[in-house]
Amino acid sequence: MTAALVLQDLRVIYQGGVQALRGIDLVVGPGETVAVVGESGCGKSTLAAAVLRLLPPDATVSGRVLLAGADVYAGDEEAARRRRGRLAGLVIQDPMSSFNPVMRVGAHIVEARRLHDRSRPARALWPWVVGLLADLQISEAGRRARQYPHEWSGGMLQRAAIAAASANHPPLLLADEPTASLDASLAVDVMHGLRERQRREGAATVLITHQLGLAAQVADRVAVMYAGRIVELGGAAQVIGRPRHPYTRALIAALPSLGGGLPQPLEGELPSLAPPPPGCAFAPRCPLAIAACHAGPPPDLVDGVACPVVMAPAHPLTAELCP
């Protein structure tokens, strides 16, 4: 089966020389949920924009992006727009502004579906809309679907935005912090509901988030990004439960834990990417860094970890974590 998304050596340089993405390779299979995690400024949102060909015109893109086998950067903007609507859905962080205030919430979702598929009349789609909203934990979905956006809370509208983005069954749903405005328990429920639905339909999800706990709950695989590169990639339980890259370990140590004390902050700041530092971009903040880390090309992923130091066979951390 064709992969929902293939990224090959994807690079993005913004005007001013900021190298926001520096060689991303990632394959997302049908029905799979992959979480992309990292701090603000690591390149997560540039990744989403690059996948959809929605970067500002002054950005330079190289490498390949295939959505369900189709090259996103082939043809003109108009062709790209049609393809995008058919092959990918996007959920953004703040949905409030994307709803027409004089249109019923359910009608938005019907429209989102009919924009690319006019085979069924709007009336016939209503039961489907109600089912979709119920999947996303909207209670009394039938009554609610007939209401207007101002009658819905922000958290409910965020779920309506998810419903609209997945309305025409795109092979890929890109969700950029889709649950940032929801309470934690609701965020978990909504993401589980979405994941089940995506699985049933064989559609893939790329979840962009800084909430590692949520990623651990709902993702099949997790990609950890730092300074425009993927530094660790693997099964969610592996990456979050037994992190190997020093950056992943530091990110997890910064999370509050049940019954624990105050978490350990990650010292230092993200490096400038105009141009990026030589070697591993995390080396200046890394307590395990050796001289070799500060020179040469940035390390590539080997067995899912871009850190030759911890992955060296003789390294005690490797011995402990990968017996």
Partner 1 sequence: MTPFAHPSRPALSASGRSLRTPLAALHHVTVRFGRTIALNDVTLQVRPRERIALVGNSGCGKTTLLSVGSGYRRPTAGTVYRAPGLRMGLLLQDPVASLNPGWTLEQLVGEPLRDLSPRLSREARAAAVRHALLQVGLGSIALDRYPAELSVGQCQRVALARALVANPELLLADEPTSALDPSVAAGVLRLIDSVLTATGAALLVVSHDVLAVAPLVERMVVLHEGRIVEDGSPHELLARPIHPVTVRLVETARQLTISHTPTPAEFPICR
Beta carbon nearer to partner 1, 107 or 270: 270
Smallest distance from partner 1 to CB 280, Å: 13
Q: Does 295 bind partner 1 (CB under 8 A)?
A: no
Q: CA 187, CA 182: separation in Å to the nearest integer? A: 6
Q: Does 323 bind partner 1 (CB under 8 A)?
A: no
Residue 317, amino acid: L
Residue 190, amino acid: V
Residue 20, amino acid: A
How many Å separate Cα 221 from the centre of its chain? 11
Size, binding site for partner 1 by CB under 8 A: 48
Smallest distance from partner 1 to CB 6, Å: 29
From the CA atom positions of the chain, what is the Rg in Å? Answer: 21
Tell which phi-psi region holds residue 304, choosing left (phi > 0), alpha (psi between -120 and 50) or beta. left
- Binding residues among 184-243 for partner 1 as defined by CB under 8 A: 184-186, 188, 210-214, 216-217, 240-243
Q: Does 313 bind partner 1 (CB under 8 A)?
A: no
DSSP helix/strand/coil, 30: coil
- Binding residues among 99-158 for partner 1 as defined by CB under 8 A: 153, 155
Residue 91: which of 194, 13, 15 has the closest Cα?
194
Q: What does the per-residue mask of binding to partner 1 show for 241-280, with x meaning CB under 8 A?
A: xxx--x--xxxxxxxxxxxxxxxxxx--x-----------
Q: Does 292 bind partner 1 (CB under 8 A)?
A: no
Which range of residues in 47-55, 86-94, 123-131, 281-289 is near partner 1 by CB under 8 A?
281-289
223 bridge partner residues:
36, 233
Distances (CA, A) of 95 to 119, 159, 161: 27, 9, 6
Residues within the interface to partner 1 (CB under 8 A) = 39-40, 153, 155, 182-186, 188, 210-214, 216-217, 240-243, 246, 249-266, 269, 286-288, 290, 315-317
